[in-house]
Amino acid sequence: MKFIVSSGQLLKELQKLIGVINPSNTLPILDNFLFDLAGEQLKITASDLETTMTTELNVNSSEDAKICIPAKILVDSIKSFPEQPLTFTVNKDNNQIEIASDFGKYALAMIDASDFPQLPEMEDIATTVIPGHILADSINNTLFASGNDELRPVMSGVFFQFSSSDLTFVATDAHKLVRYKRTDLSSDASAEFIMHKKPLNLLKSTLGSITDDIKVHFNETNAKFEYDNITLSCRLIDGKYPNYEAVIPQDNPNVMTIDRQTFLSSVKRVSIFSNKTTHQIRLKVTGNELHISTEDIDFSNEANERLSCEYEGADMEIGFNSRFIIEMLNHLNSEMIKLELSAPNRAGIISPVDGVDEGERMLMLIMPVMLNN
């Protein structure tokens, strides 16, 4: 087996896949890339059994072969080359793959490709098509709100909810919740499934500026995404997602509208002086003024700021974790945001006032914390 490929092009494709490979695998074969050469088409695959990702590129060759190459040393070595053609040659006598560059020759141990896990064919699949930039927005706007509790795996991913009227994406960790909805898209097949963080992060990093449609195939146990020259398959989280609609307050008579960047900057400054365990800040809205304050009694630290806002409703005093507010405001692009409140012991709802597409709906929910009076 022999093929010639551009070092830059090969590195670009390998960097898409390297995130699939775990730092420590129970099966040593999973530390490798599978190279599947069919004439001038080279297919490269990485897998951790739960998530499998494949990319394709053109090379100069006329042979067919399958080999496994150690992933980390291959990526590290290709990184060190400037743009140039690399020649890969299999030496079956000593079970090595030889790489020839303008600088010299290098040999890597080659592993039998027959041990590499084969991806089973998905059965009873449904398919939905989503524009690349919308899928990227959906992941960017929700993934940060998912949890890390191993005892509640269903909350450690993003909930996909497809219907004939809209596509909805939800993430929550029980302290905050984000619901991102697209009413300008729909699915022929109604479906609900929960995706793990890892494949979502891989999608997030590889979608980039892709605007083409992405095919999403899914059944009860697996999902597969096809776009550009990439195929990503993953096992879904098994379980029923919590009834998130039940925790969203419907009647919120107290509504504050404020400049997002001004609010964000103020919360960042004030939070520096908050308790390092609770990160608690106090919001007090009276008339058209918002008072943001905090105190750390243990270290005698405190901070107070006053901002102008538009407010309709009764005077309100409520406590929040400043880290969650900062995280949410950082994931919004609007100039103005709206904070809807009902009572000091009920969740607040943050939503953008402007800067959203037609058919785009964004809701962020944040649970309050008990104030220390």
pLDDT by residue (tens digit) across 307-340?
A: 999 999 999 999 999 999 999 999 999 999 999 9
Residue 192, both tokens = 């609900």
When the pLDDT of each residue in the chain is averaged and rounded to a whole number, the result is 95
**The CATH number fitting domain 126-245, selected from 3.10.150.10, 3.90.1170.50, 3.40.50.1000, 3.40.50.300:** 3.10.150.10
Contacts of 114 (CB under 8 A, 6+ apart): none
CATH T-level assignment (fold) for domain 2-115 = DNA Polymerase III; Chain A, domain 2 (3.10.150)
Give first-to-last CA distance, the chain, whole Å: 75
Averaged over 25-30, what is the pLDDT? 92
Residue 330: the pLDDT is: 97
Q: How far apart are CA 170 and CA 180, in angstroms?
A: 6
Residue 211's pLDDT band, with cuts at 50, 70 and 90, is confident
3-class SS of residue 191: strand
- Other CB atoms within a 10 A radius of the CB of residue 107 amount to 12
The answer to whether the beta carbons of residues 235 and 157 sit under 8 Å apart is no
Tell me the pLDDT band of 92, cut-offs 50, 70 and 90.
Answer: confident
Residue 298 structure tokens? 């243990």
Average pLDDT, integer, range 232-244? 96
Longest Cα–Cα distance in the chain: 83
Q: Give residue limits of the domains in the chain.
A: 2-115, 126-245, 248-366
Residue 373 is predicted with a pLDDT of 62
Cα(330)–Cα(260) distance, rounded to whole angstroms? 9
Alpha helix locations (H) across 80-180?
132-142
**Angle at which helices 132-142 and 197-207 cross, to 10°:** 130
Structure tokens at 30: 């999973």
Q: Does position 246 have pLDDT exceeding 80, yes or no?
A: yes
pLDDT digits (tens, 9 = 90+) for 348-367: 999 999 989 999 999 999 99
CA dihedral 351, 131, 226, 54 (to 10 degrees): -70
Q: For domain 248-366, say whether CATH 3.10.150.10 is its number.
A: yes
What is the mean pLDDT of the segment spanning 237-258? 95
Tell me how far apart the alpha carbons of residues 310 and 287 are, in angstroms, rounded to a whole number. 8
pLDDT at 85: 97
pTM: 0.93
